[in-house]
């Protein structure tokens, strides 16, 4: 019975880790929605995958249909299995994704994205740039 229980535990862990792994390996959805951004704020779009690079635009806090061009901070399945929960959380927080929204293409912090099945939002433009 212990072997059966171990296989069941492994299958459960693989099922729970699979969605994070797909995103970590750069496959992910066709579109993202913005999440975790306050209603009075917007998600910065940057020229590079780093918070120290210049912001070139902003996506509204409720932006949907953000085209996914990939999140190249890859973590292999084997690496993921060896990580502690703290390391997995850090990897998720440090992920940057190249996106396109209303013709603007750049990089955003992946922690502010969630999977979205919608095509680009009609009538929702870029948020005003921060000054």
Mean pLDDT of 76-95: 86
Mean pLDDT of 1-11: 48
- Check if the beta carbon of residue 99 is closer than 8 Å to that of residue 45: yes
- The CATH T-level fold of domain 2-116 is SH3 type barrels. (2.30.30)
Question: CA-CA distance, 65 to 115, in Å (whole number)?
Answer: 9
- What letter would DSSP give residue 96? E
Q: Where are the beta strands (DSSP E) in the chain?
A: 31-34, 42-46, 55-60, 66-68, 96-101, 104-109, 113-116
Question: Domain locations in the chain?
Answer: 2-116
User: pLDDT tens digit string along 29-48?
Assistant: 899 999 999 999 999 999 99
Mean pLDDT of 54-67: 97
Mean pLDDT of 77-90: 88
Structure tokens, 9: 């535990």
Please, what is the average pLDDT of the chain? 79
Q: Which residues of 87-109 are buried (b: 16+ CB within 10 A; e: fewer)?
A: ebeebeeebbbbbbbeeeebbbb
Work out the percent of the chain whose per-residue pLDDT is above 90: 50
Is residue 20's pLDDT more than 50? no
């Amino acid at each position: 019975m212990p072997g059966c229980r171990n296989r069941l535990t492994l299958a459960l862990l693989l099922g729970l880790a699979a969605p994070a792994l797909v995103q970590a390996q750069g496959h992910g959805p066709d579109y993202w929605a913005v999440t975790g951004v306050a209603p009075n704020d917007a998600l910065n779009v940057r020229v590079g995958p780093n918070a120290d690079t210049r912001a070139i635009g902003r996506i509204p806090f409720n932006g949907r249909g953000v085209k996914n061009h990939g999140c190249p901070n890859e973590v292999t399945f084997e690496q993921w299995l060896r990580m502690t929960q703290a390391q997995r959380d850090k990897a998720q927080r440090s992920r940057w994704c190249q996106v396109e929204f209303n013709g603007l293409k750049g990089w955003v912090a992946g922690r502010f994205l969630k999977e979205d099945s919608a095509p680009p939002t009609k009538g929702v433009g870029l948020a005003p740039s921060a000054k």
